[in-house]
Amino acid sequence: MSTSPLPANSSSALIATDVHYRVKDKVILDGAFLAAEPGSITVLLGPNGAGKTTLLSIAQGLERPNSGDVKLLGENPYRASAALRSRVGVMLQDGGLPPSLTADRLLHHVAGFFQEPADVAELKARLGIDEYAKTTIRNLSGGQKQRLALAAALLGKPEFVFLDEPSAGLDPQSRQIVFDFILELKAAGMTILLTTHLLSEADSLADYVYLLKQGKTVAHGTVAELTRQDRGTDSIQPLLLCTTEPLSPTVRNELINALPASELHDEPNGSSNYKYLLDGCRGAADLAVVAKILAAHDVTTLDFHFRPRTLEDVFFEVAQQQGSESELAQ
Ligand SMILES: Nc1ncnc2c1ncn2[C@@H]1O[C@H](COP(=O)(O)OP(=O)(O)OP(=O)(O)O)[C@@H](O)[C@H]1O
């Protein structure tokens, strides 16, 4: 399972295989791979410094890998023709926006580069830019700049758009506007590759997820594939516990001590019962240990089940794992 094939074919919009990239002696990408299918949302996840932005830069043709094969819409992006560039939109991390222009001036200026640009007024209205369109970029908040950078990336009506942390710095309402818009772009047939640190965002947007760690692709799959419960005894399966009485400090300590790498959280509960989440359980053996401790202390247990795994569980599991390739790779 660890030598996982890249789920790509000749119709893939992006295929990057065995990508290596070094700066001086520092290895930044170490055989990473990635693909994106037309009309889908692919999410690249990984801890800080994993190499996500670097891999995106290489996929966009901004950087040249030391080795590896990269094809974006059928071409090597580093030697991209003007025709290829006009089919691709890029939203860089931190925006890279000129500080002295107003939002309006920037959008109209960039729109002027394209023969058939997107409708600036429509983009501004859709992303809530109207209210700050006359403000110079240096005076915009981080979230306002993010939405402006997203609009600028879409002005050329690209087929493929790269979004590096599009929701960074956005408040929940702006984030929802951006999420909904990204889903609309996908419904209109755009291919979207984005990075994020928000696992809930990946969960709700992604058709396919790649997880990068220390310059390597360590897991990939649909959210359903990555969070499948039956991954064997090593996978984290958080346990939900519902009791009639609060757990005493003794029982809490015993539970935590009996299960290495576990944490016990009090879960919000609307009823008069008590609900707890034991993070980090690893399957049936741990279940038996928990049952034994509860029985020894006469704790009346109403419910006791593994809650469905989330991308967050997968992320932490991969982050904890040693070695070069994850058993989670499909
Ligand atoms: N030009 C460079 N020179 C030296 N080190 C670099 C260079 N570019 C990137 N790095 C290093 O490579 C590693 C990967 O950086 P990258 O920005 O690709 O990670 P990331 O996964 O996008 O991180 P984050 O989630 O924090 O944005 C980091 O340790 C970074 O400091």
Please tell me the distance from the alpha carbon of residue 245 to that of residue 217, in angstroms, as a whole number.
45
Q: Tens of pLDDT along 91-133?
A: 876 667 889 999 999 999 999 988 899 999 999 999 999 999 9
Mean pLDDT, residues 222-242? 76
Question: Which tokens is 290 given?
Answer: 């928990």
Ligand 1 pocket check: which of 24, 53, 198 to mutate, most ligand atoms within 8 Å of Cβ? 53
Q: What is the pTM of this model?
A: 0.83
* pLDDT one-digit tens code per residue, 239-286: 888 888 889 999 999 988 887 667 788 877 667 788 888 877 777 778
Alpha carbon of 165 to ligand 1 centroid (Å): 14
Which residues, judged by CB distance below 6 Å to any ligand atom, belong to the binding site of ligand 1?
Answer: 23, 26, 28, 46, 48-54
pLDDT at 330 over 70: no
Nearest residue (by CA) to ligand 1, atom 16, is 51
For residues 183-208, one letter each, b for 16 or more C-beta atoms within 10 angstroms of the residue's C-beta and e for the rest, the string is eebbeeebbbbbbbebbebbbebbeb
Given a cut of 50, is residue 327 above it in pLDDT? no
For residue 52, the CA-to-ligand 1 centroid distance in Å is 8
3-state secondary structure the chain: CCCCCCCCCCCCCEEEEEEEEEECCEEEEEEEEEEECCCCEEEEECCCCCCHHHHHHHHHCCCCCCEEEEEECCECHHHCCHHHHCCEEEECCCCCCCCCCEHHHHHHHHHCCCCCCCCHHHHHHHCCCHHHCCCEHHHCCHHHHHHHHHHHHHCCCCCEEEEECCCCCCCHHHHHHHHHHHHHHHHCCCEEEEECCCHHHHHHHCCEEEEEECCEEEEEECHHHHCCCCCCCCCCCCEEEEECCCCCHHHHHHHHHHCCCCEEEECCCCCCCEEEEEECCCCHHHHHHHHHHHHHCCCCEEEEEECCCCHHHHHHHHHHCCCCCCCCCC
CB 51 within 8 A of CB 44: no
pLDDT of 82 over the 90 cut: no
Closest by CA to 131, choosing from 160, 82, 173, 181, is: 173
Q: Give the residue, by CA position, lying nearest to ligand 1 atom 2.
A: 23
**Atom 12 (ligand 1) nearest CA:** 28
Question: What's the gap in Å between 87 CA and the centre of ligand 1?
Answer: 27
